[in-house]
Structures are given as structure tokens and as C-alpha cells.
Structure 1
Amino acid sequence: MKKTLLGFGIVAALTLSACSSGSDPQSASGTPSEITVFAAASLTEVFEDIADEFQNSDPDAPEVKFSFGGSSDLVSQITEGAPADVIATADEKTMGTLEGDDLLAGAPSMFASNTLTLAVAEGNPKSIEGSTDFPGLDLVVCAPQVPCGAATQKWAELNEVELDPVSEENSVTDVLGKVSAGQADAGIVYVTDIARADGQVEQVDLDGADKVINKYPAATVRASEHQEQADSFVKFLGSDSAQKLLRDAGFAAA
């Protein structure tokens, strides 16, 4: 069974509790029974499915608990000492911050890629066909420091599109939420976000999106006390079963 943690505070609290007991949870074989994975918000559903496959693949595999959020926020938390065993981000640049600060146990592994698209309200009531319809729309995007925001800025520059968003969100999940709640006419998200929206939004192809591809890296955190198990999870992301789940969720190969 997986556990999803919604933020650094909960993760930290659990860690303090574990420390007060005198030891980390152990499985019958003596290996740690849990690892903590920090992962980009766009990976939420598929990583939970991958964790199931990971645990089913080996009786000694640890339970995986998650903290999902904007990649830049997760990186900041690890930089400040948040306890994590694995980090998976939505672009290489964000992961590069940890690599540059020597906070990773090894070189990151690319396991998937993603492409931008446009999310519009169900039924597309504004009859939006692409970026030429942006003027006059309530458009939401990710903030520039977030991978989807950096990709959006790059896409706009390459395609000479002027952006005038009504808000900039800290995660792609928040962009999707604004559109599905009717608080925005359209939002720039990943193609995988449309797939996991359960019909609450519709997709409109974003012209020139193929010029900007985000690659997803994962790595073991140097401060992890369970590096062998963390390495196993990172390696599992490249397995046939994990790659199939990623493709089913709309991700492309790295």
C-alpha cells in the first residue's frame, strides 16, 4: 500500500517520530520497509501505479511513500534538509540544482518525457483553437521557476507568442485545477495532465509544442539512509512494466 504525503511538514513529522522510536522501520528480511520519493506533481497517478508494480516485483521491496509537488519546491525542500530517498523532477534544469550542489548519490537517470498542450473547459465553450485565440482569454500558466513554466516561456519565445496570463501557478496541477473549476478559460499543461483529468477538461493542440520537450530525470538523494533501496526504485523506472505504465499515462520515452 502506498502513502501520499502532501508536503514537507508531514514528511518531517513522520521522520521525527521514526527517530524517536530509536530505529527505522524494517522488513522481516532486515531491509528498510519504507522509502520516501519526492516527485513532480505531473507524476502523481502514474508513480502510485509504478510503486505497486515495484513492490509486487520483489517481496523485499520497501513500501514507497510520496511527496508530490512542484519540482522547484521539492528541490528547495531537499536543499534545506528534507528527508527524501529519491527525487524525480519534470525537467533536467531543476534536477541540475541538486547535482550542482552535490546532493545526489549519482548521475540522474532519464525515464520519460512530456510535451505541452492547452487545457480548456469541458465542451470548449470559448471555441479555442490555439494560441491565436489567447487575446481576451483568462489564461493560466505555471510560474517561470517551475519546469512547466520554464517550458511555457521557451515555447512562447520560439513561437513568438505573447503571454498575458491572469495567474502563474506553482505546479501544473494547480493550472489544471483552475481550468477544471471554471476559474480560467484555458491553461498550458502537459499532455499527460489531460489524460489524468478524467474528462473535466479538454485538450486543444498547442501549435509548435513539439519544439519544447521536457525530459524527466530521477536520482537517489545523497543524504538517503536507504541508498540501495532508493537505487532499486530509480532503476525500476526504466523497466518494461514501469515504461508501459508511463506510456499508458501519456508520457513518451526519454
Structure 2
Amino acid sequence: MKKIYLLLLAMVMMYVFAGCGKGDEIAAESGSERITVFAAASLSESFTELAKEFKKKEGNNVKVEFNFAGSQTLKTLLENGAKADIYAPAEISFIDELKNKGFLNDYKVLAKNKLVLANNIRSKYDVKDLKSLASRGIRIAVGDKTVPVGKYWIKALERALEDDVIDEEDMQLIEGNIKTRELNVKDIVSKVYLNEVDVGVVYATDLTEANTGKLKAVEVAVFDKIIASYPIAILNGSEDRDYVKRFYGYVLSDEGKKLLQKHKFIVD
């Protein structure tokens, strides 16, 4: 897994230093100001729409370019010299680490999220709850322990054991049924969508119009006790850039919060 992670990181770094791809650029070619945002993969749909709405307000004067990836991968890229104006991971600890290293001065929590089980409707396993994951032969995809969705999964499993939702035998069976540990939540969604696994542990926001009819969300009570917080920060060196501050403010505005709610995020 470590070798795979390093290979993926190298590929992403090549992509970043070469410039963001056209698919992640939300603006007209005539835009004169460029904002680069490193954001958790689970923010891809919501942030893409936020950028489109922001451009409508600002006209053709600005481009918003995204690098959507695992929060840990993005953090490592920044630590290794990649340039960005805004960082929005899916866990506060990553942004705290960067703050302690002098990459940013402050941050705010823009939204919250929670885990769900995404079950492929073609699977022979009709997942009902956490205990369903202990079924013989079921194939599960989760996040790697280095990324937020994987960390939240571990916490949820431990909490379920504490609350007697599952027992030690269930825990061992569930662990044995995990077939892949991904570095990006969208890769988990893809595995379930393609029926390479029967079920994946993803965020509620990952069940979108694009996978409606292929996946069903299964809510688990213990997941309500493990809430993911999404912080956002302007990185040092970009604090005085007008359009960076405007986009940051727009994401945190009432209008921005409504768009985040539309994509199933929890906002205050």
C-alpha cells in the first residue's frame, strides 16, 4: 500500500506542477485572475457548483482551478512545494498540522458530513446495517487508515463495538471481508458503482445524481456519532489576494451554505 501511495503521489505531483487539468478549470479562457484550490475529493461536486456560481457573480475576471484528491495527498503536496491559494480537507487534523508548520494562520469549519454504506443495487447482498458487513462472502471497500474516510470508519467500527452493536466475532468477519482500502473516497464509490465490491463506506454526499439507480445509501445509527468536519483556509502568501478572499468568503456565506446543503452537507 505504501508503494502504491508513493506512486499515486508522484503522479499527482506531476499533474499539479504541470498545471491543473481542463476538467477542473471553472472559468472562461479570458479570465485574468486565477485561484487554485486544493480540496478533498468529497467536495468535488459541491465546490464545482460553488465555483460556477462564483464566476457568474464575478464575470470573466477569475478562474477557479481545483485539485480534488485525498486530503492527506493534498497536504503532502503542499509540504513538498505545490502551490495553492486555498486548502479544504475532510479532517481538521491535517489543517492543524499545516498551521503548526506555518502554512496558514487560521481556518474555519465550512461544513460537516457523515458516513453511509453505499450498496450496489445489483449486489446479491441487500445490506441493512453494520452487521450485514459480517456476511460470508460480501466484498467491502473502505478508505485507507491514512485518509479521513478511513479514519472515520475505524472510529465508527470501534464505537460500534463499544456500544455492543457488533461483537468481536463480527469485527473479525468484517475486517476479513474488506477487499480494498482506497486513498480517495471517490475510488471507493467507483468500486461499488462498477460492482467490483458489494458495499463501500463513503460519505453521505457521495451518493449523487450521477450514481442514482446504481447505488443505495444505507444509514447506520453509529455513523451519526462520528461526524466529519471540513475546515477551509487561505494559505500563506495568498491572504492579500482579493479574489482569493472573495471566493473564500463566498464559500462561507449563506449562499454558499445553501449550495453545500443542496449537496447533502451539514452546515450550521
What TM-score range do you get, normalising by the shorter chain? 0.7 to 0.9
Question: Residue 9 of structure 1 aligns with which residue?
Answer: 14
Match of 2:25 in 1: none
Structure 2 counterpart SS, 1:166: strand
Looking at structure 2, the residues matched to 147 and 70 of structure 1 have their Cα atoms a distance apart, in angstroms, of 8
**C-alpha distance in 1, partners of 2:92/2:239?**
24
What is the CA–CA distance in structure 2 between the aligned matches of 1:218 and 1:96, rounded to whole Å?
11
- CA shift for structure 1 position 26: 9.5
Query: 2:183 maps to which residue?
Result: 170
Alignment check: 8 A CA contact 1:111 1:237 kept: yes
| Larger relative helix fraction | 2
Q: Tell me, what secondary structure is at the counterpart of 1:184?
A: coil
CA deviation digits over 1:95-136, x for unaligned, max 9?
1121121111x3111111000000010255311111111122
Give deviations 1:160-203, integer Å, cap 9, x for gaps.
15241111100110111111111111110000001354312111
Deviation for aligned residue 1:7: 3.4
Query: CA separation in 1, counterparts of 2:252 and 2:65?
Result: 19
In structure 2, do the counterparts of structure 1 residues 196 and 7 end up closer, same or farther at CA, with 3 Å as the change threshold? farther
- The more displaced of 177-186 and 193-202 is 193-202
Q: Distance in 2 between matches of 1:238 and 1:39?
A: 15
Matched, 1:81 2:94: no
Report the secondary structure of 1:125's partner residue: coil
For the 8 Å contact 2:50–2:256, the answer to whether it is kept is yes
Partner of 1:21: none
Q: Distance in 1 between matches of 2:67 and 2:252?
A: 21
Change (3 A) 1:10 1:153: same
2:143 match: 142
Match of 1:19 in 2: none
Q: Deviations over 1:35-83 (max 9, x none)?
A: 1101000011110110011122234752101000000000000010101
Contact 2:193 2:211 (C-alpha < 8 Å) held by counterparts: no
1:247 aligns with 2:261: yes
User: CA deviation digits over 1:4-48, x for unaligned, max 9?
Assistant: xx9332331239xxxxxxxxx996xxxx51111010000111101
Partner of 2:117: 118
Q: Is the 8 A contact 2:119 2:126 kept in 1?
A: no
1:155 correspondence with 2:156:
yes
- C-alpha separation between the residues in 1 aligned to 2:58 and 2:220? 41
User: What TM-score results when the alignment is normalised by the length of structure 2?
Assistant: 0.81
Report the 3-state secondary structure (helix = DSSP H, G, I; strand = E; otherwise coil) of the residue aligned with 2:221.
coil
Q: Which moved more, 1:110-119 or 1:88-97?
A: 88-97
Instruction: Work out whether residues 124 and 202 of structure 1, in 8 Å CA contact, stay in contact via their aligned partners in 2.
Output: no
Cα deviation, residue 231, structure 1? 2.4
Identity of aligned residues (%): 29
Shift in Å, 1:207: 2.9
Cα distance in 1 for partners of 2:243, 2:60 equals: 10
**Aligned residue pairs, count:** 235
CA distance in 2, matches of 1:79, 1:26: 31
Q: Aligned partner of 1:42: which letter?
A: S
Alignment match, 1:107: 106
Q: Which residue of 2 aligns with 1:48?
A: 48
Does structure 2 conserve the Cα–Cα contact (< 8 Å) formed by 1:85 and 1:224? yes
Match of 2:242 in 1: 228
1:154·1:212 contact (CA, 8 Å) conserved in 2? yes
Gap regions ≥5 residues in structure 1? 1-5, 16-24
SS at 1:8 equivalent: helix
What SS class does the counterpart of residue 178 from structure 1 fall into?
Answer: helix
Q: Deviations over 1:136-179 (max 9, x none)?
A: 22111001111111111111111115241111100110111111
Q: Which amino acid aligns with 2:146?
A: Q
Give 3-state SS (helix, strand or coil) of 2:220's partner: coil
Unaligned runs of 5+ in 2: 1-10, 21-28
Name the residue aligned to 2:7.
none
CA RMSD of aligned residues (A): 2.2
CA distance in structure 2 between the partners assigned to 1:155 and 1:244 by the alignment: 28
* Equivalent-residue separation in structure 2 for 1:26 and 1:126 (angstroms): 51
TM-score (norm 1): 0.86
Secondary structure in 2 aligned to 1:35? strand
